[in-house]
Chain A
Amino acid sequence: GAVVSQHPSRVICKSGTSVKIECRSLDFQATTMFWYRQFPKQSLMLMATSNEGSKATYEQGVEKDKFLINHASLTLSTLTVTSAHPEDSSFYICSAREQNGYTFGSGTRLTVV
């Protein structure tokens, strides 16, 4: 089946630094990808919709200047957490639509210290 590869799987960064998370569709093209955030033992919350070649659409309450999304090709979307703080520590997951539905990446555990 379709695979969405997410990298890195885990990252620890210092407060104030920026972190980039990559989401790749390996065997299909994805004009649209979605970024979710999940806190421990909680549900997934949609953060933004990433559109190839155009600006991302952010959900209400999500800071677009803090969570920069770039979708430069049909197979790659990136999420950059800028000036990260401990409260940004979370599990970030991307998803993309493929022929049979929506496939999720394996997630990125971000820890800001």
Chain B
Amino acid sequence: QQQVKQSPQSLIVQKGGISIINCAYENTAFDYFPWYQQFPGKGPALLIAIRPDVSEKKEGRFTISFNKSAKQFSLHIMDSQPGDSATYFCAASIWTNAGKSTFGDGTTLTVKP
């Protein structure tokens, strides 16, 4: 049973465009939803995270939108840059045990100059 479904699998965006990646979860007990950025050969790096008490969180060019009733959350990258080209993973967990995260399958983002 896949608890976190991520889409699309790959995404190509022009420089300056908006990149949107979506995730859906099944476990209603999840209350911590981070997004990670991973470059080839490196470990994931936390990009931004959200708890269910808010519907949106913005940090610079990165925004998480959260829909609790639909059990969905998404990452928006505004003004996408070639340096944003990486694999992005969403994850979900219970905050008090957030080390045991369930990850989505990842989205490979390519930003064309």
Provide the bound-state CA to CA distance between A109 and B99, in Å.
21
Q: Please name the residue on chain A nearest to B106 by beta carbon.
A: A43
Provide the bound-state CA to CA distance between A103 and B46, in Å.
7
User: Which A residues, 1 to 39, have Cβ-Cβ distances below 8 Å to chain B?
Assistant: 4, 6, 32-34
A105 near B43 (CB under 8 angstroms)? yes
Q: Is B13 engaged at the interface, CB distance under 8 Å to the other chain?
A: no
Q: How far is the CB of A13 from chain B (nearest CB, A)?
A: 18
Q: Is A68 engaged at the interface, CB distance under 8 Å to the other chain?
A: no
Provide the bound-state CA to CA distance between A44 and B41, in Å.
13
Count of chain B residues near A, Cβ 8 A: 20
A49 near B44 (CB under 8 angstroms)? no
B43 near A97 (CB under 8 angstroms)? no
Provide the bound-state CA to CA distance between A42 and B41, in Å.
13
Residue of B42, B49, B102 touching A101 (CB-CB under 8 A): B49
Residues of A with C-beta under 8 A to B42: 106-107
B106 near A101 (CB under 8 angstroms)? no
Residues of A with C-beta under 8 A to B94: none
Q: Is B101 engaged at the interface, CB distance under 8 Å to the other chain?
A: yes
Shortest beta-carbon contacts, A-B, top 10: A104-B43, A107-B43, A34-B99, A43-B103, A44-B103, A106-B43, A93-B43, A43-B105, A104-B44, A105-B43
